[in-house]
């Protein structure tokens, strides 16, 4: 049985309240209305308890379709963005995935339930420590996480069939990430354009120096920054 299926069993917590289930159902219906059709992605969002990934004072907003602050100047993305990015990756349980920007760990938990192995990089030590505690609580065993410079990727584990970046790169994808993407691999990333706005962009690696590109939707992410945060 794939690791992803084993992990998924641990996401259902016995103390989940009935009103939380109602809010989840409303959220799933909203995501369907917004064009999320991948049933595996919708199932992951329904199953992973988002309330564990937000600060206590935001718990009552966990299933609203909005971004929430998680400290260190970072946010947990709104469920719609998580769903769009995850759906764009077209994941299966054979894929090895790189995530740049662990944050609260919510996107990582969604990805881990759909892929074989997830490698995730976070530049804020405090955020990564909290995310790893959540992975442990949920019994997730197919995530490997480090503190580091996500713009450099993770050469020791490359290549990756899928790469996801949860912060906005300025004008273009960092070259290290493109080089670590496997042939026919997919990469989804927010890009800040010269006009100052941001667009969520999907890349497919067709050869070593050729990529197909598709703009998915306008977004607003924190900037992708180098080095480990002090």
Q: Tell me what pLDDT residue 17 has.
A: 53
74-76 and 68-71 as β-strands: parallel, antiparallel, unpaired? antiparallel
Q: What share of the chain is helix, strand, coil (3-state, %, to 5)?
A: 40, 30, 35
How crowded is residue 2: how many other Cβ atoms within 10 Å of its Cβ? 14
Question: Tokens 């349980």 identify what position?
Answer: 93
d(CA 154, CA 157): 6
What predicted TM-score, i.e. pTM, was given to this entire model? Answer: 0.90
Q: Tell me what pLDDT residue 18 has.
A: 53
Q: What is the pLDDT of residues 138-195, one digit of tens each?
A: 999 999 999 999 999 999 999 999 999 999 999 999 999 999 999 999 999 999 999 9
Segment holding 222, helix H or strand E = none
Q: Does the annotation count 4 as an active-site position?
A: no
Domains of the chain plus CATH, in order, are: 3-219 (3.40.50.150)
Catalytic residue among 4, 43, 69, 77: 77
* Segments of the chain with pLDDT less than 50: 1-16
Q: DSSP labels for 162-207?
A: EEEE-SBEESS--HHHHHHEEEEEEEEEEEE-TTS-EEEEEEEEEE
């Amino acid at each position: 049985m794939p690791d992803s299926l084993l992990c998924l069993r641990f996401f259902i917590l016995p103390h989940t309240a009935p009103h939380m289930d109602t809010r989840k159902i409303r959220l799933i219906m909203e995501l369907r209305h917004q064009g999320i059709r991948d049933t595996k992605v919708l199932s992951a969002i329904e199953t992973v308890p988002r309330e564990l990934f937000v600060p206590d004072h935001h718990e009552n907003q966990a299933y609203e379709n909005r971004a929430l602050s998680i400290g260190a100047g970072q946010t947990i993305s709104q469920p719609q963005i998580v769903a769009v990015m995850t759906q764009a990756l077209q994941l299966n349980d054979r894929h090895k995935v790189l995530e740049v920007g662990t944050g609260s760990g919510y996107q990582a938990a969604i990805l881990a339930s759909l892929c074989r192995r997830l490698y995730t990089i976070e530049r804020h030590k405090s955020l990564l420590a909290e995310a790893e505690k959540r992975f442990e609580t949920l019994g997730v065993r197919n995530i490997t996480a480090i503190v580091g410079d996500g713009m450099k990727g993770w050469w020791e584990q490359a290549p990756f069939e899928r790469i996801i970046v949860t912060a906005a790169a300025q004008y273009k994808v960092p070259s290290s990430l493109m080089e670590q993407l496997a042939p026919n691999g997919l990469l989804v990333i927010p890009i800040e354009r010269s006009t100052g706005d941001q667009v969520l962009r999907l890349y497919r690696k067709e050869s070593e120096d050729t990529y197909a590109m598709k703009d998915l939707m306008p977004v607003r992410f924190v900037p992708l920054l180098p080095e480990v945060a002090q």
